[in-house]
Structure 1
Amino acid sequence: MCRNIYLLCIVGTLKGIDIMEQYDVFLINPPSSSMKDKYEHLGLAYIAAFLRKERISVKIVDMPLYDLFPDDVVYDIKQNKPKLIGVSIPFQDGAIEALRFIKKIKETGYKGHLSVGGIYPTFSYDEILMECPQIDTVVLGEGELTFTELAKKILNDEEWKDLEGIVYKDGDTLKANDKRPLIDDLDSMPYPERDTLPIVILKSGFASILTSRGCYGRCSFCSVGPFFSQFGQKYRQRSVENVIDEIKILYEKYNVRNLFFNDAEFVGGKGKSYERAYRLAEEIIRSGMNINFSIQCRVNDVDKELFSILKKAGLKRVFLGVESGSQTVLDRFKKDVRVEDNINALKILNDLDLYISMGFIMFDPHINFKELSENISFINNAVKLIGKERLDYYPVSRLLPLAGTEVERDMKEKGLYKGNSLNYNYEFDDKTIGFIYNLSHSVFNLVGNLKSRFKGSDINTKWIKR
């Protein structure tokens, strides 16, 4: 249905708007066969807000959300002839699909400027530009200011190659310009545009919101910290007042009742960050808004007093970064927590009757049988404590060597990393464990596919119904 709505927008009129309006800029979330959840793309929504502040006409094209085929969007591009296209590559595992789509745009005759951005392109722009020379620029770091300046120059036919925060190819030479600093004051940013929110609400039932950017942790497998820290502060927060104002807009204007706080780290640790999270809960309660919401956090953020008031404010689901039940593995991951902290966090959330989505890495390249046994034992105890109805986890997950992470560097230095960032694999220190992973992963996926064929999964919405 959503794809049909999009196609109607190309040739007709919707809600009194002239759908044949010509757009200067297209912002595209590319096709992704692995993306099943229908979230808002806040990155594109923020960039759209910056562009419209400069009176630049922009269209957000979210292909996974609308279930669009590449030919649909290519046709739309031919009709509108935007001078600039920005493509987000939000996930590394979907990059090949995204680059294939970009090639199709150029190969079917698009003559304008095409730029990409995201965490992955920021770290692997050299491989991306080698694989896909059709790309004109890669935006490094946060894209709002850089892409807006790029748009102004492209639309005014001005020279753009001296811009901060971009990489481009000049013949056979790769040119990386100076890095652009982060926006220090997140409150100074306009709220993200909500073009796609009505369809998101229809499909998933909840809106997304960011109250912070980055994370204060130093996990060796995570790319969030390295991404932000190379441009400025690794963790920044919006004020409580600024966040509440945006929630009120969502609540009153869009009739939103379910929120997903998309922060990589919602609480932010002890001290002022803890107080901020507590005050945010108090203000939601004081406002009288009846909302349900989910958050993401580290286990050492879980405090009974704080999470009790968050629950009173509407907290229903917690994405909890547990990662391992083995202390040696936690230390190897630089989690800076103990197994006891993991257990304590699970107990607090269980006592509060909250739904838990547990981040857990069962296998990593250096894991031994003792550590694997500790992981399995931890999972079994967690299931016994919480029950299958309120605990979501992936039991055969393995560590991913994401671009820019310490884990990726370690694997490459030790010769474990195979391929490149677009198509990688790695070897386990213990070949037997590697065989166990491959077998268990194949069996689990087979069983999961059979189950999903006969029974739809509502794992992302059942927390709302509780």
Structure 2
Amino acid sequence: MKVLLIDPPIKVWELMGDCCAPPLGLAYIAAVLEQHDIPVELIHCNGMGVTWKDLPEIIRRASPDIVGTGAMTPMFSDAVKLVRMAKEVDPGITTVVGGSHVTFTYEDTLKEIPEIDIIVRGEGEETIVDLVKCLETDSHLKDVKGIAYRDNGNITATERRPPVDLNSLPLPAYHLLPMEKYHFEFLEEFSTIITSRGCPFSCTFCSEWDFWGRPWRARNPESVGEELEIVNKKYKRKSVWFGDDCFNVDYNHIKSICEQIAERDLDVQWFYQGRADFLIKYKDLLPLMRKTGNVMTQIGVEASTDEELDVLNKGVTVDQIKEAVRLMTEHDIVSQGLIIIGTFDDTVESILHKINYMKSLQVDFPIFTMFTPFPGSKVYEQARKERLIEDFDFNHFDMAYCVMPTRELSRTELFRWYGECHREHYSDPLQILIGLLSKNRFKRAIWRHMFRYGLKQAVRMYLKRGKYRL
């Protein structure tokens, strides 16, 4: 039984700029299938230059028994387009879709999209192997943990699979990918790695902690070091994004990975997403982190008051965020802070407070994200209950588009203030000049990118200024 994994042509989130990163999720799935001697082919359309027009012939030529893909919420329509295409090529193909979006919407998805045969809920590595073996032997799907499917017209979900032991997994199947093609705007030699899965916290706006399950799990540092060495020395990738939901949870995990980078003499610059409180707690590691290539850290600022941080169940304080930014500046680590606009109780006054707060923080790169009710999150449940969501087009659930009003502001007003946030921070001639003339080479490069992004946002806001007039 042959499996064809496809990451379809997708539009990259505008904030990311000219970005092309390896599809790690599918690369892990491919590696596990190879480990079990199951024939597999992996097509990364963006990396391989494959268009929608090319795909039918690729599917026809591969002649797979199974076509599999994964999708986050804003890319879900691409997954749907892909499985429909696969069924047009050969109605006998079994289509399988995984990822966070379908994990939490499997009932609606199976009701509305008949071309999807099976949904993988949660982590897919062990599930896909059991699923292939089940289909090969014509066994009953009820014995496969972690899936949802139709049984005589009724939607059935099997028991969720326990979290996988990350150290039991092979390294991603990089040999099936065009590694030389991956880049991130100004970083020509770019790749991604995950060193852990999950998050020990439960922010109301996030569903990833539920998708990956408890507890937070870390890979063996030696395995991470081996993968970094392959990526750096074999595939010549010098810029690495640690794509963990929260990289800096554990002191020894961070320290050991830094030591692996040093011991293996790797020429990498790396960046990650983490928490302000852990950054402070492990501040004595910052010199080692910087020395081994940590050039940028992204933290969730989220809100400008302790009260709103509590509502979001963030588990940090404004003072901790300020101290984390100060420490990054002290150690010449570029700081990137994400703050949410359009929360349920946001007003003009609270948004102005957020704008001024981000200025006072002096974070190098403030990123304003639109409050988005992702399926699986507590925010989604509350927004559905209060009937606040006005736009259910999942293409727009990208944290840059307004899909619901606040209790006081319309989507039109929110859209205008979202543009104002960017204008305030990326249209200031003095800030632009300071950024472009920074002694930090990495910071200069990001400022060039963010300046272009700010201009694009300003034009976008102007051209679409009437879009939210309801």
TM-score range relative to shorter protein: 0.7 to 0.9
**Structure 1 letter corresponding to 2:120:** V
The alpha carbon displacement at 1:285 in A equals 1.9
Quick check: 330-339 or 281-290, which moved more? 281-290
Structure 1 residue aligned with 2:414? 437
Structure 1 residue aligned with 2:305? 326
8 Å CA contact retained: 1:355, 1:463: no
The alpha carbon displacement at 1:176 in A equals 0.9
Number of aligned pairs? 419
Which of these residues, 166, 184, 188, is aligned with residue 168 of structure 2?
188
Asked if 1:76 is matched to 2:48, the reply is: no
SS of 2:19's equivalent in the other structure is: coil
SS of 2:59's equivalent in the other structure is: helix
SS of 1:367's equivalent in the other structure is: coil
**Structure 1 letter corresponding to 2:55:** V
Q: Where do 1:104-115 residues align within 5 Å?
A: 104-115=85-96
Quick check: 340-349 or 63-72, which moved more? 63-72
Structure 2 residue aligned with 1:246? 227
**Structure 2 letter corresponding to 1:188:** S
Quick check: 144-153 or 243-252, which moved more? 243-252
8 Å CA contact retained: 1:52, 1:58: yes
8 Å CA contact retained: 2:147, 2:157: yes
SS of 1:279's equivalent in the other structure is: helix
**Structure 2 letter corresponding to 1:297:** G
SS of 1:190's equivalent in the other structure is: coil
Cα 1:442–1:375 change in 2 (3 A) is closer
Structure 1 residue aligned with 2:202? 218
- In the alignment, the residues of structure 1 paired with residue 132 and residue 445 of structure 2 have an alpha-carbon distance, to the nearest angstrom, of 42
The alpha carbon displacement at 1:252 in A equals 3.1
Q: TM-score, normalised by structure 2?
A: 0.82
Structure 2 residue aligned with 1:297? 274
8 Å CA contact retained: 2:341, 2:418: no
Cα 1:311–1:442 change in 2 (3 A) is closer
Asked if 1:278 is matched to 2:260, the reply is: no
Q: Deviations over 1:324-382 (max 9, x none)?
A: 22222211111111111111111111122222232211221221344323211112223
8 Å CA contact retained: 2:218, 2:253: no
The alpha carbon displacement at 1:234 in A equals 3.5
Q: Deviations over 1:414-451 (max 9, x none)?
A: 2223454747732310036x443122446889999xxx
Q: Deviations over 1:378-411 (max 9, x none)?
A: 12223xx35xxxx33334x321101111111111
8 Å CA contact retained: 1:258, 1:464: no
**Structure 1 letter corresponding to 2:28:** Y
The alpha carbon displacement at 1:159 in A equals 4.3
The alpha carbon displacement at 1:191 in A equals 0.8
- In the alignment, the residues of structure 1 paired with residue 70 and residue 355 of structure 2 have an alpha-carbon distance, to the nearest angstrom, of 37
Cα 1:446–1:60 change in 2 (3 A) is farther
- In the alignment, the residues of structure 2 paired with residue 447 and residue 147 of structure 1 have an alpha-carbon distance, to the nearest angstrom, of 48
- In the alignment, the residues of structure 2 paired with residue 325 and residue 445 of structure 1 have an alpha-carbon distance, to the nearest angstrom, of 16
- In the alignment, the residues of structure 2 paired with residue 464 and residue 58 of structure 1 have an alpha-carbon distance, to the nearest angstrom, of 41
Structure 1 residue aligned with 2:39? 57
SS of 1:417's equivalent in the other structure is: coil
Q: Where do 1:196-235 residues align within 5 Å?
A: 196-201=177-182, 204-229=188-213, 233-235=214-216
Cα 1:236–1:255 change in 2 (3 A) is same
Structure 2 residue aligned with 1:265? 246
The alpha carbon displacement at 1:111 in A equals 1.9
8 Å CA contact retained: 2:269, 2:294: yes
Unaligned runs of 5+ in 1: 1-22, 449-457
- In the alignment, the residues of structure 1 paired with residue 423 and residue 276 of structure 2 have an alpha-carbon distance, to the nearest angstrom, of 32
8 Å CA contact retained: 1:325, 1:339: yes
Cα 1:166–1:413 change in 2 (3 A) is same
Structure 2 residue aligned with 1:11? none
Which of these residues, 283, 289, 299, is aligned with residue 310 of structure 1?
289
- In the alignment, the residues of structure 1 paired with residue 136 and residue 443 of structure 2 have an alpha-carbon distance, to the nearest angstrom, of 41
Structure 1 residue aligned with 2:2? 24
Asked if 1:404 is matched to 2:376, the reply is: yes
- In the alignment, the residues of structure 1 paired with residue 78 and residue 24 of structure 2 have an alpha-carbon distance, to the nearest angstrom, of 21
**Structure 2 letter corresponding to 1:114:** T
Cα 1:289–1:199 change in 2 (3 A) is closer
- In the alignment, the residues of structure 2 paired with residue 325 and residue 51 of structure 1 have an alpha-carbon distance, to the nearest angstrom, of 46
- Root-mean-square deviation (CA), in Å? 2.9
Structure 2 residue aligned with 1:453? none
Asked if 1:366 is matched to 2:345, the reply is: yes
Q: Deviations over 1:28-56 (max 9, x none)?
A: 11232244521111111111111001111
The alpha carbon displacement at 1:157 in A equals 4.7
8 Å CA contact retained: 1:167, 1:177: yes
Q: Deviations over 1:195-247 (max 9, x none)?
A: 22523446741121111001112211011112123xxx231111222222222
Cα 1:202–1:343 change in 2 (3 A) is closer
The alpha carbon displacement at 1:260 in A equals 1.3
SS of 2:119's equivalent in the other structure is: strand
- In the alignment, the residues of structure 2 paired with residue 446 and residue 72 of structure 1 have an alpha-carbon distance, to the nearest angstrom, of 40
Q: Deviations over 1:154-195 (max 9, x none)?
A: 345554453111111124311111211111x31121111102
Q: Where do 1:158-197 residues align within 5 Å?
A: 158-183=139-164, 185-194=165-174, 195-197=176-178
8 Å CA contact retained: 2:20, 2:183: no
Q: Deviations over 1:285-318 (max 9, x none)?
A: 2332222111110111213322221011111111
8 Å CA contact retained: 1:326, 1:371: no
